[in-house]
A = this chain, B = another copy of it.
Amino acid sequence: MNALNLPPDRKYQHMRKTPGNPIVITMGDAAGIGPEIIVKAMQAHPQALQGCFVAGDVGAMRRACALVAISSKQMQMPIAVIESPKQVAHVPPNCLAVLQVGEPLEFLPWGQVSKAAGAFAGQCVHWAADAALRGDVAAIVTAPLHKEAMAAAGPPYDQFPGHTELLQTRAASYLGKAVEDVPVRMMLANDELRTVLVSIHVSLRQAIEAITVKRVLETLAITNAALTPLLGRAPRMAVAGLNPHAGEGGLFGREEIDIIGPAIEAGRGLGYQVSGPWAPDTVFMRARIKPGVASEFDVVIAMYHDQGLIPVKYMGVEKGVNITLGLPLVRTSPDHGTAFDIAGTGRADSSSLWEALRMAHTLNGGWV
């Protein structure tokens, strides 16, 4: 048994549930909308304050509280400075718990790329990852960071294009594995649809090349491992085809016959509840959870970024939540960026962050 109490032959990581612990929200880039949307989400849903805290900078969070107070014409939300996740339980009602990560951050102008903000945002995620791996927090919700600021931050943060790679690296180190042995996938979800992507930020041509039996099967394995404990049973996984009508028997492309079909067969051989390849234009509709209608599938495996994201975002970009599968921790995030163009104006929409927080709670078996 390793530090996570998992059998050593378990290749793909489960998310662990630790429902008694608080959820940590990492502040994100201090010059972006992260601090503001955290305060707004908490102001709109004060009941959530008892179960979560911010890993960030007390000064930056105070500035956000002042900004939201002015823009919403409400009283400024008080901040309770905590020194460990355990103290969240003792924070008074209607106060926002903030844990100062490292040294207090200097004052930074809104909407500008800065080395200091990039490094600080990286530090917060680093701290949260380790806290989650130790089991001190139930889940991580990450407010947006800025890629250019991370790049400007210098080592070690300039090597990470985003949250996922940083979390993956911390998890691999904790598990004593190489990073490539902790493969992850992005799941996008809202209240009615879950989709896991075989590839993400590459051109469509490269995405087609990335569809291999190994990658599709790995996606099935990660999805199965991540969703089984959450659903309390094996997930019914639907695999989308790549081509129109899933290739119509080879007439419109052969990837379904040569690659996707064999990967599904291999998955069945491993005992997964998996079906497909299904016509991409109707599989998402069939997986959609609607009132009074049983959905056919629990999750759709999408062959490329937009195949999965178009249906999730169609219902409203503010409802989409990003969940990283394959890590031994729960991590969700809003599906938008730092919005430097409106940072500091009080106009940022906190809906997606709130959905991410709600999803993190749900994944932990908490309130929906």
| Contact of A307 (CB < 8 Å), options: B208, B254, B306 | B306
Complex interface: chain B residues within 8 A of A253 (CB): 203-206
Which residues of A in the span 196-231 have a Cβ within 8 Å of any Cβ on B? Answer: 200-206, 208
Complex interface: chain B residues within 8 A of A75 (CB): none
Interface flag for A79 (CB, 8 Å): no
Interface flag for A183 (CB, 8 Å): no
- Asked if residues B208 and A204 are in contact (CB atoms below 8 Å), the reply is yes
- Asked if residues B310 and A281 are in contact (CB atoms below 8 Å), the reply is yes
Binds B, one of A83-91, A134-142, A282-290: A282-290
What distance in Å separates the Cβ of A316 from its nearest Cβ neighbour in chain B?
A: 7
CA distance A243 to B306 in the complex (A): 8
| Contact of A314 (CB < 8 Å), options: B205, B206, B306, B314 | B314
Complex interface: chain B residues within 8 A of A204 (CB): 204, 208, 242-244, 253
Interface size on A, residues (CB 8 A): 36
What distance in Å separates the Cβ of A310 from its nearest Cβ neighbour in chain B?
A: 5
- Asked if residues B305 and A284 are in contact (CB atoms below 8 Å), the reply is no
Bitwise, A309-344 to B at CB < 8 A (1) or not (0) is 111011111000000000000000000000000000
A303 closest partner in B (C-beta) = B204
Complex interface: chain B residues within 8 A of A242 (CB): 204
Complex interface: chain B residues within 8 A of A317 (CB): 282, 285
- Asked if residues A281 and B252 are in contact (CB atoms below 8 Å), the reply is no
Complex interface: chain B residues within 8 A of A309 (CB): 280-281
Given contacts A306-B307, A310-B311, contact A203 B247 (CB under 8 A): yes
A200 closest partner in B (C-beta) = B244
| Contact of A281 (CB < 8 Å), options: B243, B245, B306 | B306
A202 closest partner in B (C-beta) = B252
What are the 9 closest A-B residue pairs judged by CB atoms, nearest first? A203-B253, A281-B309, A244-B305, A280-B306, A203-B252, A311-B314, A203-B243, A310-B310, A281-B313
Q: List 16 A-B contacts (CB under 8 A).
A: A201-B245, A201-B251, A201-B252, A202-B244, A202-B252, A203-B243, A203-B244, A203-B247, A204-B208, A204-B244, A280-B306, A280-B310, A281-B305, A281-B310, A282-B313, A285-B316
Given contacts A201-B245, A280-B306, 18 further A-B contacts (CB under 8 A): A201-B251, A202-B252, A203-B247, A203-B253, A204-B204, A204-B253, A206-B253, A244-B305, A280-B310, A281-B309, A285-B313, A285-B315, A285-B316, A285-B317, A288-B314, A307-B310, A311-B311, A314-B314
